[in-house]
Chain A
Amino acid sequence: NAGVTQTPKFQVLKTGQSMTLQCAQDMNHEYMSWYRQDPGMGLRLIHYSVGAGITDQGEVPNGYNVSRSTTEDFPLRLLSAAPSQTSVYFCASTKGGTGRAQYFGPGTRLLVL
């Protein structure tokens, strides 16, 4: 099992550019989430999905879109990048049911100039 994988590892964008951060998991987990981590702010939830075809907003959804067409993949799209979106982005997946633990991907470091 590869677990949770993310690409790219690092990306530099100019303000106004768009891009998609990829996330995939091979554990057949129902739940998937996107977080951003900024110094002193901890992990903040952007969007999450409880299954294929179902997504919802987290704490900081503005400027980001997601879709979940398959159980395995949960891409995060930045439509028009802004410097405030400079951050480290983590994707996580969780098996459904009681006693859930989140498993994180290796992260994508994004710099928006």
Chain B
Amino acid sequence: EDKVVQSPLSLVVHEGDTVTLNCSYEVTNFRSLLWYKQEKKAPTFLFMLTSSGIEKKSGRLSSILDKKELFSILNITATQTGDSAVYLCAVDPNTGNQFYFGTGTSLTVIP
């Protein structure tokens, strides 16, 4: 059964800390892995990773994919209160339109 598992379920850190969020997956086929940020509204797209070992970076956020070990990490450095959100990982299995989502990691950044 195809699935996406994220860890930890929740995380509380202080401003300035660095956090690492994990996403592991098992899918029959694989096209890409996507990270989303969800505040109290719709998920917004962060990164899409298709190739192993190539880091995607946007400001203080970065992500990397390991297709051999079937996981991805999302790093956030120098966290700010505005980073507080649920971070979702999804896998595009290259069949139809069935993106598989993890249940998310809830990040709370305390001032």
Q: Does A99 contact B (CB under 8 A)?
A: yes
Give how many B residues have a beta carbon under 8 Å from the other chain's beta carbons: 21
Q: Contact: B101 with A42, CB < 8 Å?
A: yes
- The total of chain A residues at the interface (CB under 8 A) is 26
Q: Are A104 and B98 in contact (CB under 8 A)?
A: no
A62 lies within 8 A of chain B by Cβ: no
Q: In the complex, what residues of B have CB within 8 A of residue A90's CB?
A: 42-43
A31-46 CB contact bits vs B (8 Å, 1 = yes)?
1010100001111110
Q: How far is the CA of A31 from the CA of B96 in the complex (A)?
A: 9
Interface SS majority for chain A = strand
* B84 at interface, CB cutoff 8 A: no
Q: Do B88 and A101 have beta carbons less than 8 Å apart?
A: no
Residue in chain B with minimal CB distance to A104: B42
B residues neighboring A (CB under 8 Å): 31-32, 34, 41-45, 48, 50, 88, 90, 92, 96-99, 101-104
